[in-house]
Amino acid sequence: MIKKIMAANWKMHKTWDEAVQTAREVVVGIGEDLPPDREVVFFPSGTALKAVGESINGQNGYFLGGQNFYPAAQGAYTGEISPLQLADAGCAYALVGHSERRHVLGEKDDFLAEKVIFGLSSNLKIILCIGETIDQRRQDRVEGVLAAQLQKGLEKIDQNVSAHDLVIAYEPVWAIGTGETATEDDILQAHGFIRKMLKDLLNQGQEIRVLYGGSVKPDNCARIIALDNVDGVLVGGASLKADSFSRIVLA
């Protein structure tokens, strides 16, 4: 069974106590109702990783992820965190290339490709985020942008990479935190193109999960995850409240 990933990216929100409380409320609130075809991944801030990991430890179907890491085991990289440290905190997943890392913090494709390969070699499951800006969409460059980001981000990995270890998240930059959501046709076209690219680039392209991220809410999640080639969601603002995110998980 290929499980859909329901991921909560809390970005730079929540104190230690708030993060633990929200995670616990989600787990307890869902209880035995977590569908067998779903897995839940929490991406809290670095300060809360260990605590959130301990709060979900032993709960089937729940995992911890890091929002970022530096592609080195250790070293003089002030302010960064290594994959080894993420794993030590209990992380199974890590994000690479989120639009805010690309467009706010200036991470380039070459650097993101290094992160993908180093994260995978460090036994983390990698969610590589790709997506176009509103100007790129208006210029009819969506497929070109997605192709370039995929080709560059995956150019160094083994073509036989396990489909369990690599995930792609399509997040149109213009739909993140804006309240705007890509239409069903937008999502179908983008995810269909990504699937074709994965088949061309990797031997297990059909099995690699492709998530959608961009103003996902309880009232639109069911329609989104029912679409072809949509294998889950990466949720920002709507994941900050336990009730809202629980409804998304169960959509």
| Catalytic (active-site) positions | 98, 171
Task: For residue 94, give the H/E element and its range.
Answer: strand 93-96
Separation CA 232–CA 204 (nearest Å)? 18
**183 class by beta-carbon count within 10 Å (0-12 exposed, 13-18 middle, 19+ buried):** exposed
Q: How many helices (H) and strands (E) in the chain?
A: 10, 8
| Cβ partners under 8 Å of residue 217, min gap 6 | 181, 238, 244, 248
Pairing mode, if any, of strands 209-212 and 62-66? unpaired
Helix residue spans in 31-107 (DSSP H): 49-56, 83-88, 99-103
